[in-house]
């Protein structure tokens, strides 16, 4: 170590040049760092949720929960699986699996998503048919990965002197396309608002009389193409001897069941939830989305108000800003204490220069390592300042 110090003092020009070069590169790397609330971590948990209509807890456990548990155990026992906890209630099965940290959760989720939808998993037909009866459910069972990045980036509300159905149309046609066009946005979707859809109510008695199984009709309804009128839909043949859909079902267009209604400050509204790409910078993307939303609002009618109801970046900037200020105060106090105890200007100057220099070099290493600025890394930096002294 003494040899390096001696060499640096002997070649002062080279030392100064290298110091300036490293400082410039470190400042550049610091400016490129992403700002997040917490580190990008992979939680070793996965949840499988299934609905078994009209089933008792015992039936749910025997016919849904146990088969799902068995599939998970057979594939992942000895490969990182630690525990499986499950709950079987009326019509509902919840299976929660915990793995060792370091397990490839992307592989786990991919396996479960493939297996839950395959015929290899023997589940009751009522479970498989549930998405056909409830349009809000895309898959049954559903695999839910517990990922911190699933938190919405930003959420807006749109309210005005129109019906929630009209608000939904405005959002679909004018707001969502603009927000989804922002770089770094993965998805933007509507929460709330009344929606209309085709409602087909089957007559079980008539179906039994004609010998038509429920699963066959549900499968037929799910594959029906675009129709011109309800009359055309009701004339679709569903069995022999000229039996049509209208003979065994009532078909109307009305409000979708299970519609979610949203209210903001006591007024009916629709909520627009925006999710970002995992690799995008939270603060930069949130600022870009807010700017685009302001532009969109100017193009809307004066009676409509598009406002922010949640913004993850605000909390990130506030929390990180407070932590940064505490670190700066700590560094300043450290320099003052060194000066008071040593009573030497040169030693204090070395301390004053070494602290920020070491920090920006640390940020440069973070940039090349793919580490973000977050609460944990800034806390570590604040501790490192004290240990550096």
Helix or strand or coil: residue 260?
coil
Output the pLDDT for position 389: 63
Model's pTM, two decimal places?
Answer: 0.63
Q: Which residues of the chain have pLDDT under 50?
A: 258
Q: Please tell me the predicted confidence (pLDDT) of residue 96.
A: 92
Q: String of b and e for 250-288 (b: at least 16 CB within 10 Å)?
A: ebeeeeeeebeebebeeebbbbbbbbbeeebbbbebbeb
Long-range Cβ contacts of 222-230 (<8 Å, 24+ apart) = 222/132
Residue 222: per-residue pLDDT: 60
pLDDT at position 300: 83
Q: Which domains does the chain have, with CATH numbers?
A: 2-37+315-388 (1.20.1640.10), 45-146 (3.30.70.1430), 196-255 (3.30.2090.10)
Round to whole Å and give the CA distance between 215 and 193.
Answer: 31
Any bridge partners for residue 98, and if so which? Answer: 45, 83
- The pLDDT score that the predictor gives to residue 344 is 72
Contact present, 86 and 94 (Cβ < 8 Å): yes
């Amino acid at each position: 170590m003494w040899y390096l110090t001696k060499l640096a003092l002997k070649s002062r020009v080279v030392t100064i040049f290298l110091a300036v070069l490293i400082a410039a590169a470190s400042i550049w790397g610091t400016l490129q760092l992403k700002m997040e609330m917490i580190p990008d971590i992979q939680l070793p948990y996965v949840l499988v949720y299934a609905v078994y209509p009209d089933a008792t807890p015992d039936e749910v456990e025997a016919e849904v929960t146990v088969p799902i548990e068995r599939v998970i155990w057979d594939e992942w026992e000895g490969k990182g699986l630690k525990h499986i906890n499950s709950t079987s209630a009326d019509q509902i099965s919840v299976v929660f699996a915990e793995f060792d940290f370091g397990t490839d959760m992307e592989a786990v989720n991919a396996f479960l998503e493939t297996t839950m939808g395959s015929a290899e998993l023997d589940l009751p037909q009522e479970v498989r048919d549930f998405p056909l009866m409830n349009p809000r459910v895309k898959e049954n069972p559903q695999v839910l990965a517990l990922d911190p990045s699933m938190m919405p980036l930003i959420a807006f509300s749109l309210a005005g002197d129109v019906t929630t159905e009209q608000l939904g149309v405005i959002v679909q046609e004018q707001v969502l396309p603009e927000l989804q066009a922002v770089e770094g946005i993965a998805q933007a979707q509507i929460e709330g608002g009344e929606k209309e859809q085709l409602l087909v109510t089957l007559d079980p008695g008539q179906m039994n009389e004609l010998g038509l199984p429920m699963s066959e009709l549900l499968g037929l309804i799910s594959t029906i193409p675009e129709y011109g009128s309800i009359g055309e839909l009701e004339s679709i043949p569903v069995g022999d001897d000229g039996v049509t859909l209208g003979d065994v079902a009532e078909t109307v267009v009305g409000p979708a069941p299970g519609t979610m209604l949203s209210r903001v400050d006591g007024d009916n509204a629709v909520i627009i939830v925006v999710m970002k790409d995992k690799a995008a910078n939270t603060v930069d993307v949130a600022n870009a989305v807010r700017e685009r939303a302001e532009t969109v609002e100017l193009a809307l009618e004066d009676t409509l108000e598009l406002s922010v109801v949640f913004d993850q970046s605000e909390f990130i900037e506030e929390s990180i800003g407070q932590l940064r200020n505490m670190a700066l105060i700590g560094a300043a106090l450290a320099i003052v204490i060194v000066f008071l105890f040593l009573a030497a200007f040169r030693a204090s100057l070395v301390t004053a220069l070494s602290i920020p220099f070491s920090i920006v070099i640390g940020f440069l290493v973070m940039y090349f390592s793919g580490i973000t600025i977050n609460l944990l890394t800034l806390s570590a930096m604040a501790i490192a300042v004290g240990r550096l002294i």
